[in-house]
Amino acid sequence: MGLTDSASVRDMDMPPTLLSESEIQSRVDELASEIDATYADTEMLVLIGVLKGSFIFLSDLARRLKVPHRVEFIAVSSYGAKESEHADPVRLLMDVRHGIDGEDVLLVEDIVDTGHTLAYLKRLFAAHEPNSVRTCTLLHKPDRTEQEVPIDFLGFTIPDVWVVGYGLDYAERHRTLPYIGELPPEMR
Ligand code: IMP
């Protein structure tokens, strides 16, 4: 196989574009302005990114914010289908390093699918008695909603498809693509 052949095999591995790099970047600009306006009087906003999916979105968003902020990360995992009778389908794997009592907290997610993760996290952080807890997600799949949770800052509404890139993965693949691609079933 020559160089050209292997390059075209690589291209076939690339998921088709759902949201281009420039569409994402201009929406992140707008979100940062909305967040700056909402927190204009806040002394120190606490951004809490949900690993791993939000790491690229959070780093782009945070670097555009003018409001003073600090960054925390948490990690969660979902219970599988077998454990779905468990009271809460989400489990905290890594907590924030510093307390958030009395703070203004913004939870930053890559995608809201069923809504279970964000609903769980909102409940969890509300119990720490912060001054406020709001939510920001780059993507939302409303067709998949099982649990309603208010989204204060939303990038894009998307259809019920599996998306990868810009932090999102499929079995750890495609996470660092600069755009958001739709992964058709034959590519999984
Ligand atoms: P939820 O609790 O069902 O809302 O799920 C949220 C989590 O599911 C996200 O943080 C992602 O990790 C994962 N997820 C859901 N849909 C997708 C997708 O299309 N691509 C990649 N990850 C997804």
Closest CA to ligand 1's atom 9:
111
- Is 113 annotated as catalytic? yes
Other Cβ atoms within 10 Å of 54 Cβ, number: 26
Q: Is the CB of 167 under 6 A from ligand 1?
A: no
Residues 22-66 have pLDDT tens digits of 999 999 999 999 999 999 999 999 999 999 999 999 999 999 999
Q: Which atom of ligand 1 is nearest to the CA of 119?
A: 2
Question: What CATH number belongs to 19-80+87-187?
Answer: 3.40.50.2020
CA dist 38 and 45 (Å) reads 11
Residues 105-129 have pLDDT tens digits of 999 999 999 999 999 999 998 888 9
- Rounded to the nearest whole angstrom, what is the distance from the C-alpha of residue 64 to the centroid of ligand 1? 25
Residue with tokens 């995992």: 77
pTM: 0.91
Which pLDDT score is estimated for 77? Answer: 87
Residue 144 phi, psi dihedral angles, 5° rounding: -100, 0
Is the link from the previous residue into 122 a cis peptide, with omega within 30 of 0?
Answer: no
